[in-house]
A and B are shown apart, each in its own frame.
Chain A
Amino acid sequence: MKSPSIHVQNLRKVYTVSQQEAGTAAALGSLVHRHKIEIAAVDGISFDLAAGEMVGFLGPNGAGKTTTLKMLSGVLHPTTGEATVLGYIPWKREKPFLRQITLVMGQRNQLVWDIPALHSFELNRAIYRIPPDDYRYMLDQLTELLGLGPLLHKPVRNLSLGERMKCEIAAALLHRPSVVFLDEPTIGLDVTMQRRIRAFLTEYNQRFGATVLLTSHYMADVEALAKRIVVIHHGKLLFDGDLSVLVQKFTAHKTIEVQIGDCQADLNQYGEVLSCADGHFTLRVPKAETARVTERLLADLPVIDLTVEDPPIEEVIEMVFAQESP
């Protein structure tokens, strides 16, 4: 592999948080002595991203995803460990580094609220010193890919959440960064808009060869966007690899959907019956027994239809987190 675009080695971030019990006595006590505890938001993670790679960063709330992205984009200083992005140490915030990266935060806005997004775009053009031709080219590309045309001249406050997010993403990409960090870019958006943003990110990644690291709560995002995923929980790395391998590794079961006439039959002898509606059973069976159970079902029952599936990715992830919880 050529030198990685992003290199992370034993990265660790510890926050000191002061704690206070409820009640007046505790409040008075805390005036004299603050009880402080240390929380490791990111607890020694390591991974590499090749140039042009698109990786999904998964984990429940508070797993350390945002903290990691902020360290890699230079907003946060790590407690220990090292990282390089495009060969730069992010938290030194050198100008050539900042010119080549971007961080989109789904829950924060950089666009000026009361005026059309185009003003903020122009401001970013000046801040990043984007040559006029490049700016026009990128603006055209982004307008086309995200369908920004009618949005650019409306005050940002009058845009819907999804429209605003599209403008936020465009503002963050005008300087054509080669490394893109996205923190929950689809949060709060409806399914159509999520799909639109996903399609755009894939297109951007391919068209400009950018390295993309994105976090999301929505499994559909990750499934659609990233072949490789990095799973983090309680600040520790749980898994790094292909999504399909994750499913293989963490699922001991398969789901069999079998349709027979009605729900009268007792199928518990074949596997765990999860549900039945209109003669449509959902069974969970140990992975090793799938073939044998399928065979028996077909032999014993008047089967109309039968499918074997991996459990939904949400379920897999849930299992991963459940297993590793301390």
Chain B
Amino acid sequence: MRGLVELYTQQFKTTTAMMFQYRASLFIWMIGQVLEPLVYLVIWTIVSNGSGGSVGSYTTKEFAAYFIVLMLVNQVTYTWIMYDFEYRIREGTLSFALLKPVHPIHSDIADNLSSKLITLPIMIIIAVGLAVAFHASISPPLWAIGVFIPALLLAFLVRFLMEWTLAQAAFWTTRVSALNQTYFMMMLFLSGQMVPLVLLPYPVQIVATILPFRWMISFPVEILLGQHTPVEALEGLGIQVAWLIVGTILLRFVWRAGVRAYSAVGA
């Protein structure tokens, strides 16, 4: 355990040093992180205003709150592991990871969390600015804020495990971008990034609830917007934990098979 803490600390220092080398691209990346939810926010504000100040159960102000919280949740849970993994396997640098006496996922989680920690304060400032500009209405009960934190962490872990597992498709095919595209499209639609899930047709809502996407992004947002009763919130956390377990088992299984495939063909 102490070894892992040491590893995470050291990775944090390395990631920080790297990020300061890439200040410009970091800035551009953050613009992207803000822009996407902002586009949906603007669209839904127009739609909502055009139809008398609300769509379904969402008022214009609630749309604003929804997309601003979603921006922060997406920022915390976002990963770039699918691109990284493809590169590692194509360039053969994965071999170095295989030589190390630590599972490579630790360095990846530590790297991801470190860069989030550095960018989060700026994102929060942007979020507050947007909340003022769009008159976002948000007044979660106190308990919801307490549940939001574990929900957000679980969302991060579930998304990380799923995408880390999916990234390993690169072990078997050199063309993973098609798979990535499909995944991102499903994510966009079923995680609530484009539309709040309650506004989707009921069958689609059921699909979104069965699949893991909702639990990676939408659920923490719903919690903070006070859309759930305490019992529903606890159920949700339970489902997230279940996905965490499924994700861990899946990851171990796929990783083992992937390494076997990699070490069979060489790199």
With a cutoff of 8 Å between Cβ atoms, the chain B residues found around residue A99 in the complex are: 101
| Main DSSP-derived SS at the A contact region | mixed
Contact A119 B263 (CB under 8 A): no
- In the complex, which residues 25-39 of chain A have their Cβ closer than 8 Å to any Cβ of chain B? none
- In the complex, which residues 83-115 of chain B have their Cβ closer than 8 Å to any Cβ of chain A? 91-93, 95-96, 98-102, 107
Give the distance to chain A from B10, nearest Cβ to Cβ, in Å. Answer: 4
Which one, A91, A93, A110, A126, contacts B96 given CB within 8 A? A110
A98 nearest CB neighbor, chain B only: B101
If A77-B260, A77-B263, A114-B22 touch, whether A119 touches B14 (CB-CB below 8 Å) is yes
With a cutoff of 8 Å between Cβ atoms, the chain A residues found around residue B92 in the complex are: 108
Question: Is A217's beta carbon under 8 Å from chain B?
Answer: no
Give the distance to chain A from B47, nearest Cβ to Cβ, in Å. Answer: 44
Q: How many residues on chain B are close to A (CB under 8 Å)? A: 28
Contact A74 B10 (CB under 8 A): no
- In the complex, which residues 235-267 of chain B have their Cβ closer than 8 Å to any Cβ of chain A? 260, 263-266
Give the distance to chain A from B252, nearest Cβ to Cβ, in Å. Answer: 14
With a cutoff of 8 Å between Cβ atoms, the chain B residues found around residue A95 in the complex are: 101
Contact B13 A122 (CB under 8 A): yes
With a cutoff of 8 Å between Cβ atoms, the chain B residues found around residue A15 in the complex are: 265-266
Give the distance to chain A from B186, nearest Cβ to Cβ, in Å. Answer: 28
Contact B101 A115 (CB under 8 A): no
Contact B93 A126 (CB under 8 A): no
Question: Is B9's beta carbon under 8 Å from chain A?
Answer: yes
- Chain B residues with a Cβ under 8 A of chain A: 3, 6-7, 9-11, 13-14, 17-18, 21-22, 91-93, 95-96, 98-102, 107, 260, 263-266
* Contacts A75-B98, A91-B263, A129-B6 known; 13 new A-B pairs at CB < 8 A: A13-B266, A95-B101, A96-B101, A103-B99, A108-B95, A114-B22, A115-B14, A122-B14, A123-B10, A123-B107, A126-B3, A127-B100, A128-B100
- Chain A residues with a Cβ under 8 A of chain B: 13, 15, 41, 67, 70, 73-77, 91, 93, 95-96, 98-99, 101-103, 105, 108-110, 112, 114-116, 119-120, 122-123, 125-129, 155
Can you list 10 A-B contacts (CB < 8 A)? Answer: A67-B266, A96-B101, A108-B92, A108-B93, A112-B18, A114-B22, A119-B17, A122-B14, A123-B14, A128-B101
